[in-house]
Structure 1
Amino acid sequence: MSDSSAPPSSAAKPGASGSRAVLEAPDIHRALTRIAHEILERTKGADDVVLLGIPTRGATLARRLGDRIEQFEGRKVPIGSIDITMYRDDLRRGPVRPLGPTELPPDGIDGRVVVLVDDVLYSGRTVRAALDALNDLGRPTAVQLATLVDRGHRELPIRADYVGKNLPTAKSEKVKVYLQEIDGRDAVLLMKGDAK
């Protein structure tokens, strides 16, 4: 998940002190198009694929990937979202988190290839929580992971199958993903640890 769900402020715009844009709207568009093609190639046409986004921005990215797959294949791929709040291992460390929606396609996930979609892959703990949540929802044939940005610093043995951009970062830096549907624009910013 990205480091912030707040809308971009003037201090977070590309070129602002302490931040730089690493992806702009055209880059995000190309990355998602490539990931959609890779999913189709790896799953041999996506017949049994279900896209499950991790709220908030992962759910938006899952819808965008679904739209692209539909453009390429001429048919819809089931899309949903999976809330991981109660499966997180840091619930006691921070403020109370609101529950997000878990929305499964009508046919569920049993026997399907589930592609989890998130915006930023960092420690791997968000994905681990999603895998735990998935266990309570059904038994997919396989689970794959798509992420817009992989920033490294894994704390668990988790690897993305589909990556929009590998972005080496310092632990003190923050990666912020902004999407048009939520924030009014598409961008990925790399921010110094003291930037707000």
Structure 2
Amino acid sequence: MKKKTVLLDEAAINRALTRIAHEIVEKNKGGENLLLVGVKTRGVPLAERLQEKITQIEDIKIPMGELDITLYRDDLEKVDDREEPRVNATNIEVDFTGKKVILIDDVLYTGRTVRAAMDAVMDLGRPSQIQLAVLVDRGHRELPLRADYVGKNIPTSEQEVIVVHLNEIDKIDQVSIYEK
């Protein structure tokens, strides 16, 4: 793959997350009855950052969890033909029955990851509502889904790939676009 350009740097990612945090608080009239759930892998540090920003805005710490959707995916055989899928632990210590769950992921593309995440959430409990926050929406939906909160809409072609790097995992904050 050939890198075309950097779309978001550290400052732009921070601004996008600050805006998303404000939108979450505004839409939900505060932070009560919310649960942030990061979809592994990069949704987790994004959820942690949003949790911190909402705490700064509302002076309330919203509970957070980590969700592994590996076994809920309908495209497991396409993910990597060479090895068995690696299942990571789901860590949600809060009963979210009746709560508003905000799923957080890095990139929204076909919608299949979000569908798998919603299936996983429903297997764990019955939230009153599920909302979706993504850092990047690149289009090309295969399922009728949309994000409630979007850091940046980046229209792409099918030959392009969006790559998100986060300090917590990759030692750099950056969103780039690559040509296949």
Q: Which category of TM-score, normalised to the shorter sequence, fits these structures?
A: over 0.9
Q: Is 1:84 the equivalent of 2:69?
A: yes
Q: Is 1:60 the equivalent of 2:42?
A: no
What is the CA distance between 1:34 and its match in structure 2? 0.2
Whether the aligned pair in 1 keeps the contact of 2:37 and 2:66 (CA below 8 Å) is yes
Q: Deviations along 1:87-118, whole A, 9 cap, x unmatched? A: 10011334322112211133x11010000000
Q: Is 1:124 the equivalent of 2:124?
A: no
Q: Deviations along 1:136-195, whole A, 9 cap, x unmatched? A: 1000000000000000000000100000000000011000000011101100001111xx
Matches within 5 A, 1:100-115: 100-106=88-94, 108-115=95-102
Amino acid in the other structure paired with 1:101 = A
Higher fraction of strand: 2
Provide structure 1 residue ranges, at least 5 long, that are not aligned to the other structure: 1-11
Q: Is 1:188 the equivalent of 2:150?
A: no
State the SS of the aligned residue for 1:65: helix
What TM-score does the superposition give when structure 1 sets the normalisation length? 0.88
Matches within 5 A, 1:1-196: 18-95=3-80, 96-106=84-94, 108-193=95-180
State the SS of the aligned residue for 2:175: strand
Distance, in Å, in 2 between the alignment partners of 1:104 and 1:70 is 19
Whether the aligned pair in 1 keeps the contact of 2:100 and 2:131 (CA below 8 Å) is yes
Distance, in Å, in 1 between the alignment partners of 2:85 and 2:175 is 24
Amino acid in the other structure paired with 1:47 = E
State the SS of the aligned residue for 1:171: coil
> Percent of pairs identical after alignment?
52
Where does residue 4 of structure 1 map in the other structure? Answer: none
**CA RMSD, Structure 1 to Structure 2 (Å):** 1.1
Amino acid in the other structure paired with 2:86 = P
Distance, in Å, in 2 between the alignment partners of 1:30 and 1:154 is 26
What is the CA distance between 1:46 and its match in structure 2? 1.5
After the TM superposition, which segments of 4 or more aligned residues of structure 1 sit over 6 Å from their partners? none
Amino acid in the other structure paired with 2:9 = E
Provide structure 2 residue ranges, at least 5 long, that are not aligned to the other structure: none
Q: Deviations along 1:1-27, whole A, 9 cap, x unmatched? A: xxxxxxxxxxx8xxxx53200000000
Whether the aligned pair in 1 keeps the contact of 2:31 and 2:60 (CA below 8 Å) is no
Amino acid in the other structure paired with 1:114 = V
Amino acid in the other structure paired with 1:60 = P
State the SS of the aligned residue for 1:50: strand
What TM-score does the superposition give when structure 2 sets the normalisation length? 0.95
Distance 1:78 1:178, change over 3 A: same
